Structure 1
Amino acid sequence: MDRAGLVCQELAHPLTYLRVAVVTETYPPEINGVAMTTGRMVDGLVAAGHRVDLIRPRQAHEGGSIQLADGAEGVEEMLSRGIPLPRYANLQLGLPARKVLLRRWSVQRPDVVQVVTEGPLGWSALTAARKLRLPVISEFHTNFHRYSGHYGVGWLKRPIAAYLRKFHNRADLTLVPTRALCGELAEQGIARVDVVSRGVDTALFDPARRSASLRRSWGLEEDDLAVVYVGRIAPEKNLALLEKAFDAIRARQPRARLILVGSGPAAQALQARQPAAVFCGPRSGPFLAEHYASGDLFLFPSLTETYGNVVAEALASGLPVVAYRDAAARELIEHQVHGWLAEPGDEAAFVAGAVALAEAPELRSRQRLAARERVASLAWQAIVERLVTLQRQVILSSPVTARR
């Protein structure tokens, strides 16, 4: 047997169940795609018999000092200090905790460190893991360098991109949710990138949750059109195009209603411009699923997504989706089968697609069925299994592991 075979045989038992240190600056019950995805991954790891060492900032209701916390079974938590993240209400930016992590991981070494976010806490986790010669995987969730132009600091785009490149190149592997983003990061000089997609809970997000009473609370009858947007109400989501598309729909269907689920810094100004729209605020769990399923058409004009969990959730809920051919929409939607795809930046095509589907109830009915079928196989269990496979590969390729 060759050396690789001996190593695999020797490590077969220790790698059956892993101890994974997960470092993240956002986690449920916070409402955003990164928190939701990380929570699902942690739940899936524990359900498969692995143990998780969860490092995260204390949330607003939990106070501010570093301390241990009682996590779910199979999860040990360390709550670090944090400061409020500008323009993101109720989110904390984790402060550096290098010394604490060095002590913690020296006493109880994880098999692999999974760094979810690129803030100060994530950087200090990378530094501690490198010093202890632990295998490290990073994740790329948010196009911060793309966001900069939407907040008047476009000049920061290059420095942010340089920081992200340095951050992720310190890891043994960087995970992204789409094949397209994998290629994009490779072009930007991030060396080791692989794909772990996102799942969707098809038991939660289900067309059967459609609610006539909820629609009536929106001022709609069964045959009226509910145009839904779910997500952060913020400049980087390109909501001017959402308004433009809905105004074109309403010019043809005056009883159509725009339904917005979420919150953010642009909500007040948007409400002033769209007084007839229904602003539902943040929703989660069955309440969120009911809002999706009670809609008729989903508009998602963003061009800053790394994935866009809401696209998969809308499809699972039986909603035809109008989006740019980007991120999750590019991966999941076939044009005019599950919705309508416009080429990135082609606003006229986006608006035309929204109007075309708004005026074609029979086509929307066919697309509702196709949308649901499209994501039926995206179970979180399969996504977690893919993650664990890559974690084991990184562990076995680590120079420290190879010398055991």
Structure 2
Amino acid sequence: MDATGLRVALFSGNYNYVRDGANQALNRFVTYLLRQGATVRVYSPTTDTPAFEPAGDLVSAPSFAVPGRKEYRVPHRLSAKLRRDLKAFQPNLIHVSSPDPLGHRAVSWARAHGLPTVASVHTRFETYPRYYGLAFLEPLIESILRRFYRRCDAIVAPSESMAQLLREQRMNYDVGIWTRGIDREIFNPGRRDLAWRRALDIADDVPVIGFIGRLVMEKGLDVFSDTVDQLVTRQIQHKVLVVGEGPAREWFQNRLPQAVFTGFQKGPDLGRAVASMDMLFNPSVTETFGNVTLEAMACGLPTVAARATGSESLVTEGVTGRLIRPGAIGNFADALQTYCLDADARHKAGQAAQARAERNGWDQVNQALVDTYLRVIRQRAQGLSVRSSPVP
């Protein structure tokens, strides 16, 4: 079998109603699958105000709004209507991208029908409770995730560091890599626009520290703010440029009143914003990959990041940027101070970062997941059942 024989049922907790790096990667992948001649059907919550048009056929799944985070929805069941749709579609592989109730039911459906299942891991859900005063729940959530992923034939992670963590957590015996690509037409140093910076009241000679991403607390906004406070105390000349939107924007603006907030940017506008920074500061520990880090690297920026999954697979310490112990405010400030004061060090690390980003083309990374699909289907056909837990 090749890609033309694939009939993939993809289950997602957020395929297109809120824009983030994970669902954009899924949409790109579906586009690639369709281009290769595969047949795809996507099952996900939908809203009347989607963030973007979905790739492929999208079927709405029953869902409810997350309490306190109403922009997100939880698909809570595999309804009779969805079961009938699945039966009519006749998939030969199930892909689950979120360990939510719908994802669990999809895996059970696949096992009941003898179909192989591949799960993609997009975020470290087990770390989320610590940002809401519920860190004691992390072992329980990790246990739930382990049960979910062990019932799949294979799981894929977006970085080698995340894959290794999943192995250490005993999530599955078959852990592969489905990394992320970069659109070099959008993200490159040529997008740098000093006139655009000046329009935001940023002088040409002022080093710009960038933040890119959804404005939610689990992205490390508190660590970012505390680190910037130290630079202010040290009287280090800089400007903070925040690109993104989210429910914590008001909190972030109150903490960083001198920062420039551009709101959400996309396409060439996002490329311009990223290339017009001088360095990226990414203190988050929740990413499994870090799309924004790769985008910044492609634009020739050094990155100061938390030493965590995702960033460790992209940033080479002392070469393309700095990797700092999570939460080490003083060390983060030291690294940013060096890049603010030493333009040569900044330029050298940026050049190395751009060279590293050249490895990630979308077609190459998406074909790796197609190859995983074909392998697990072939293994099932040969009677090689998944080495997972015996949970039905």
TM-score (norm 1): 0.88
- Give 5+ residue unaligned stretches, structure 1: 1-11, 63-69
Aligned runs of 1:5-404 on 2, under 5 Å? 12=1, 16-28=4-16, 30-61=18-49, 75-192=56-173, 193-251=175-233, 255-398=237-380
Q: CA 1:86–1:263 in 2, change beyond 3 Å: closer, same or farther?
A: farther
Identify the range of structure 1 (279-288 vs 394-403) with the bigger mean alpha-carbon deviation. 394-403
Amino acid of the structure 1 residue aligned with 2:377: I
Instruction: Describe the SS at the equivalent of 1:260.
Output: strand
Secondary structure at the aligned position of 1:327 is classed as coil
Output one character per residue of 1:66-88: Cα deviation in whole Å (capped at 9) or x when no partner: xxxx965xx32212232223444
Unpaired runs of at least 5, structure 2 = 386-392
Deviates more, 1:345-354 or 1:138-147: 345-354
Distance 2:212 2:68 in 1: 18
> Structure 2 counterpart of 1:358, which letter?
C
Q: CA, structure 1 residues 119+345, in 2 after alignment: closer, same or farther (shift >3 Å)?
A: same
Q: Is the 8 A contact 1:27 1:38 kept in 2?
A: yes
Q: For the residues of structure 1 that align with 2:198 and 2:220, how far apart are their CA atoms?
A: 29
Counterparts of 1:154 and 1:60, CA distance in 2: 34
Tell me the SS of whatever aligns to 2:49.
helix
Q: Assess if the C-alpha contact under 8 Å between 2:4 and 2:36 holds in 1.
A: no
Q: Deviations over 1:208-249 (max 9, x none)?
A: 111223201221121112111011222222222212332333
Distance in 2 of aligned mates of 1:234 and 1:138: 25
Aligned partners of 1:31 and 1:378: how far apart in 2?
21
Kindly indicate whether the alpha-carbon contact (under 8 Å) linking 2:16 and 2:46 is maintained by their aligned counterparts in 1.
Answer: no
Are the structure 2 counterparts of residues 92 and 170 from structure 1 closer, same or farther at C-alpha, using a change threshold of 3 Å?
same
Q: For each residue in 1:259-283, what CA deviation from the matched residue of structure 2 results, as whole angstroms up to 9, or x when unmatched? A: 1112333321221222111122222
Which AA in structure 2 matches 1:374? R
Q: String of CA shifts for 1:350-376, please: whole Å, max 9, x gaps.
A: 221111111111221222222111111
Given that residues 17 and 47 in structure 2 are in contact (C-alpha distance below 8 angstroms), is that contact kept between their aligned partners in structure 1? no
- What is the count of residue pairs matched by the alignment? 382
- Using the alignment, how far apart are the partners of 2:322 and 2:14 within structure 1? 32
**Residue type matched to 1:361 in 2?**
A
CA–CA separation in structure 1 for the residues paired with 2:262 and 2:69: 18
**Distance (whole Å) between structure 2 residues aligned to residue 71 and residue 201 of structure 1:** 19
CA distance in 1, matches of 2:16, 2:54: 12
State whether residues 20 and 51 of structure 1, in contact with CA within 8 Å, keep that contact through their aligned partners in structure 2: yes
Range with greater deviation from structure 2 (170-179 or 21-30): 21-30
Letter in 2 for 1:319: L
Give the Å deviation of 1:299: 0.4
Structure 1 residues 400 and 94: CA distance shift in structure 2, 3 A: farther
Q: Which residue of 1 aligns with 2:388?
A: none
CA RMSD of aligned residues (A): 2.3
Amino acid at match of 1:22: L
For residue 322 of structure 1, give the secondary structure of its aligned residue in structure 2.
strand
Offset of residue 253 of structure 1 = 5.6
Secondary structure of the corresponding residue to residue 93 of structure 1 = strand
Q: CA deviation at 1:394?
A: 0.6
1:320/1:89 Cα in 2 relative to 1: closer, same or farther (>3 Å)?
farther
